[in-house]
A = this chain, B = another copy of it.
Amino acid sequence: MTLSMYQAAIPPMIRSLNSLVGILEKGAAYAEAKKIEPQVLIGFRLYPDMFPLSKQVQIASDIARRGAARLAGVEAPAMEDKETTFPELITRLKDTVAYLETLTPEQIDGTEKKTIELPVGSETLTFDGQSFLLYFVLPNVYFHVTTAYDILRHCGVEVGKRDYLGVA
Is the Cβ of B142 less than 8 Å from the Cβ of A164?
no
User: What's the Cα separation between A11 and B142 when bound, in Å?
Assistant: 17
* Set B46, B140, B149, B164: member contacting A165, Cβ < 8 A: B140
Stretch at the interface among A26-34, A91-99, A129-137: A129-137
Q: Which of A127-168 contact B (CB under 8 A)?
A: 130-131, 134-136, 138-140, 142-143, 146-147, 149-150, 153-154, 156, 161, 164-166, 168
Confirm or deny: A104 has a beta carbon within 8 angstroms of a beta carbon on chain B. Answer: no
Residues of chain A at the chain B interface (Cβ within 8 Å): 1-5, 7-8, 11-12, 15-16, 46-47, 50, 110, 112-113, 130-131, 134-136, 138-140, 142-143, 146-147, 149-150, 153-154, 156, 161, 164-166, 168
